[in-house]
Amino acid sequence: MTDNNNPLINKAVRDFLAEAEEIVEHLGSELADLADVADNGDVDPDLLNAIFRGAHSLKGLAGMFGFAEISELSHNMENLLDWLRLGKLKLDAGVIGVLLESHDVLLSLVRSLPEGGGSEPDEKISACTARINACLEEPTRDAAQASPLEALGLSEQVLKSLTEYEEHRLLENLSKGKNIYRVHASLELATFDQDLATISDAIKTCGEIISTLPSMSSNMETNIDFDILAGSAHALEEFALTIQHDSVTVALLSGGPEPPAAVAVTAPPKNGDEEPVNLPALPDAMPNPAPASPAAGTPPLSAKSISRTVRVDIGKLDELMNIVGELVLAHSSIAALAERLRNERFSRIAVELGKSAKVLERKLTDLQKGVMDIRMIPVGQLYEKMSRIVRTISREQGKKVELLFYGADTELDKLIVEDISDPMMHIIRNAIDHGIESPEKRLAAGKPEKGVIKISSFQKGNHVVIEVEDDGGGIDIEKVKDRALQKGFVQDLSGVSDKEALDFIFLPGFSTTDQVSEVSGRGVGMDVVRNNIAAISGMVDIETTKGRGTSFIITLPITLAIIKSLIISCAGRTYALPVTSVLESLLLTGGDIKTVERREVTQLRDTTLPLLRLEEFLCLNRRSDRPEEFYVVVVGVAEKRLGVVVDELLGQQDIVIKSLGDGFRRFPGIAGAADLGDQRTILVLDVGGMVNDTLRSGS
């Protein structure tokens, strides 16, 4: 990638190159394993399926990015592998040679992409494709020969219900001398799914499930029947004894051809009858062998990777971040020691130590930023999950919904993205169920038949804002107030504003839906949304217009790993406030505080700032009188502002937030704990939780 004007040099294509190279290299390893076991005919079907899926994934990726040569060759490889899976083709040295040659060409094509073109000549790609097609043209079975399935006595309806793969598995079991059994199960409707799973698991311990088909029941009001076709090397009595389930009968359909002297029990497939278990060994003609290595004169492929991407487990990054945090604390101790030496007049040593501390601080800042950048991932990864949820729920609800994404490149800490996924899912489920109207109602209201859910994300200061907006019917605030009154959440609605009424939605057990659906209506979900977002020091707000739609605005910190904090003191205790949420600080006296509607406030320029006394919020016992002069730290999240009344400001320091565990999650306003580096551990205040709790309660 030396040409900066090359259109390939962008993040999306670099990601494709990393993914494609990983797939192709993995294919090479798996093809080598396949070649090793192909000689004895004992091929692991899971290995063959993994190779098939790899070729399929590469075909899709290359097609999406417009790399036609890679996509076409992968497609031909996929066809060849599919024939092997279905037993239409025998795996032999010739087929292995074709697969290995195709892999070599694919690897050359992928490695040549950074230079802006394919290094493989068209004739070599065409020759490789021709060899694949020659294998696919080989006859695999005499069509005039009577099918061995006829000897099983299966009805025509059952034979027509079998997929091509299931038919192949039946033939394969017969060719290997396995017994074919029909297991008929008549199960009660209330527990048929658990019972069927139990029977299937038992069958897998001694054979292979080939097909599971529903059948007519003698008592359709209370029971549902299934016919399971299975292949096993066990005799009838031993096979039936393995199942041991009531309402199950086992019939031997056929013993197949003469079994070999020793028959190995086939391992059960991972996914029932969807995964192939063995490859066919039919007496087919051998395809022409293909060379397994590049032609003479072709330069050997380099073993050097073209990608500079490394996938790292998030646990390793957490460990690295903890080490960086400890180094930050060690630097704080060194800086404090230099300050003490300077105060004690050890000037020369103090100056040298101070300089070293400054150099260490700069390097630590760079290291901290580097580790933080590694942990950051685009919010777009979360959007992909939401897209699947929208399609599934809208189809179940019979609604037409279009999902629009904006700001997918906005980056957040990996762990925050993971923690926000469930709250996002709840919000979107409620938007489809409660917000988006049915197509008929939308047309009657003059709206397009298809509803729209828009998810936007953008960075705002040291926070990331994610907004989920729908164009549905909006929230009926009057209905919310009435339901809150019915549920006993409020005794008098006269003093409840529309903004305060919307907060009732986040209370446990609150729902405006009269009917409970599979999606929502039970009053659980939105309280989880607020609690989960508050647990990562975030906030969620609602804006709604009746008849036009609703917006959920989520404000999140970019990271919770290492943060710069303001160390404060109140009632003899020391706490930390994240600097990212601190706007300014004020020095006030008692006369500067006013009371409005039983709330303490102060005038900040042209606005009224609500106040929170930290000692009252945390229920602290003050051993001495309040100081005449005190500090107010103005904090803010999104558009909300709050003044926190404290005794002293002790300075700024980088801290590493440590979780206090699930036992402390119920305490509002506490984000975790931190070590100050001088053997002191202090609590870190959750600004979002404090603002939320204070402004909602009015205390």
Pair type for strands 248-254 and 223-232: unpaired
In sequence order, what are the residues at sequence separation of 6 or more whose Cβ sits closer than 8 angstroms to the Cβ of residue 510?
Answer: 483, 484, 487, 489, 504, 523, 526, 527
**Does 2 fall in a domain?**
no
Q: Which of 256, 274, 292 is the last residue of a domain?
A: 274
**Does 672 fall in a domain?**
yes
Same-domain check for residues 609 and 639? yes
Most confident of 117-121, 244-248, 391-395: 244-248
Same-domain check for residues 361 and 384? no
- What phi and psi values does residue 63 have, to the nearest 5 degrees? -65, -40
144-158, 581-595, 678-692, range with the lowest pLDDT: 144-158
- Model pLDDT, residue 150: 67
Record the tokens describing residue 347, joined without a space.
Answer: 């000037």
| CA atoms in the 13 A half-sphere facing the CB of 366 | 5
Most confident of 299-303, 348-352, 547-551: 547-551
Overall domain count for the chain = 5
Q: What is the CATH number of the domain that holds 614?
A: 2.40.50.180
What is the distance between the alpha carbons of residues 546 and 512, in angstroms, rounded to a whole number? 14
Reduced to 3 states, what is the DSSP secondary structure of residue 568? Answer: strand
* Torsion sign, CA atoms 228, 233, 237, 239: negative
**Does 665 fall in a domain?**
yes
Q: Which residue has the tokens 């004169």?
A: 297
- Model pLDDT, residue 639: 72
Local confidence band at 257 (pLDDT 50, 70, 90 cut-offs) = very low
Same-domain check for residues 247 and 184? yes
Reduced to 3 states, what is the DSSP secondary structure of residue 350? Answer: helix
Q: Could you read off the pLDDT of 13-50 as tens digits, one per residue?
A: 777 787 888 888 788 778 877 876 776 666 666 788 78
**Does 144 fall in a domain?**
no
Q: What is the CATH number of the domain that holds 411?
A: 3.30.565.10
Q: Which of 377, 407, 428 is the last residue of a domain?
A: 377
**Does 171 fall in a domain?**
yes
Is the model's pLDDT at 290 over the cut of 60?
Answer: no
Record the tokens describing residue 516, joined without a space.
Answer: 């409970």
In sequence order, what are the residues at sequence separation of 6 or more whose Cβ sits closer than 8 angstroms to the Cβ of residue 402?
Answer: 450, 451, 452, 453
Same-domain check for residues 571 and 663? yes
The answer to whether 175 and 282 have CB atoms below 8 angstroms apart is yes
**What is the percent of the chain where pLDDT is above 90?**
5
Reduced to 3 states, what is the DSSP secondary structure of residue 513? Answer: coil
Same-domain check for residues 373 and 385? no
What is the distance between the alpha carbons of residues 162 and 141, in angstroms, rounded to a whole number? 18
Same-domain check for residues 350 and 396? no
Same-domain check for residues 405 and 552? yes
Local confidence band at 455 (pLDDT 50, 70, 90 cut-offs) = very high
Most confident of 60-64, 289-293, 298-302, 384-388: 60-64
More confident residue, 573 or 559: 573
Is the model's pLDDT at 274 over the cut of 60?
Answer: no
Same-domain check for residues 523 and 648? no
- Model pLDDT, residue 466: 93
In sequence order, what are the residues at sequence separation of 6 or more whose Cβ sits closer than 8 angstroms to the Cβ of residue 439?
Answer: 399, 400, 449, 450
Span 268-296, average pLDDT: 40
- Model pLDDT, residue 470: 93
Same-domain check for residues 257 and 390? no
Q: By CB neighbour count within 10 A (0-12 exposed, 13-18 middle, 19+ buried), where does 387 fall?
A: middle
Q: Could you read off the pLDDT of 485-528 as tens digits, one per residue?
A: 888 877 777 777 888 888 888 887 777 665 545 445 434 468 78
- Model pLDDT, residue 292: 42
More confident residue, 383 or 51: 51
**Does 3 fall in a domain?**
no
- Model pLDDT, residue 3: 47
Q: Which of 252, 274, 296 is the last residue of a domain?
A: 274
Q: Which residue has the tokens 């009577």?
A: 146
**Does 289 fall in a domain?**
no
The answer to whether 22 and 45 have CB atoms below 8 angstroms apart is no
- Model pLDDT, residue 457: 92
More confident residue, 258 or 306: 306
- Model pLDDT, residue 11: 66
Is-above-0.85 flag for pTM?
no
- Model pLDDT, residue 660: 75
Same-domain check for residues 393 and 532? yes
Same-domain check for residues 467 and 331? no
In the chain, what are the helix, strand and coil shares in percent, each to the nearest 5?
45, 20, 35
- Model pLDDT, residue 259: 39
Q: What is the overall mean pLDDT for the chain?
A: 78
Q: What is the CATH number of the domain that holds 72?
A: 1.20.120.160
Same-domain check for residues 68 and 121? yes
In sequence order, what are the residues at sequence separation of 6 or more whose Cβ sits closer than 8 angstroms to the Cβ of residue 103?
Answer: 24, 27, 28, 31, 77
From the list 197, 198, 180, 169, the residue with the least C-alpha distance to 85 is 169
What is the distance between the alpha carbons of residues 296 and 288, in angstroms, rounded to a whole number? 19
Span 68-84, average pLDDT: 87
**Does 6 fall in a domain?**
no
Q: Could you read off the pLDDT of 576-633 as tens digits, one per residue?
A: 998 888 888 999 888 888 888 778 889 888 888 889 889 888 888 887 778 888 899 9
Range of the domain at 588: 562-697
